[in-house]
Amino acid sequence: MTRKEFLKMAGFAVFAIFILPGVKKLNLFRKSHKEAKYYKKLAG
């Protein structure tokens, strides 16, 4: 493994650690928003 490859892997790991939780939060927020609409429809 060259230094360049190592830095690329490290950069990807950092990117994944910081970005993935943010993406999951966005998805959870959207899902809860959709569910809220759905329950409003059920309630009438």
| pTM score of the predicted model | 0.45
Q: What is the pLDDT of residue 4?
A: 95
What is the separation of C-alpha 27 from the centre of its chain, rounded to a whole number of angstroms?
6
Distances (CA, A) of 41 to 27, 29, 32, 44: 21, 19, 14, 5
Q: What is the pLDDT of residue 3?
A: 95
Longest dimension (CA), the chain: 62
Q: Residues in the chain, how many?
A: 44
Q: What is the pLDDT of residue 11?
A: 92
Q: What is the pLDDT of residue 18?
A: 85
pLDDT in tens, the chain (44 residues): 899 999 999 999 998 888 888 777 777 777 777 777 777 888 87
Q: In which residue are the tokens 């790991």 written?
A: 13
For 36, other C-beta atoms within 10 Å of its C-beta total 10
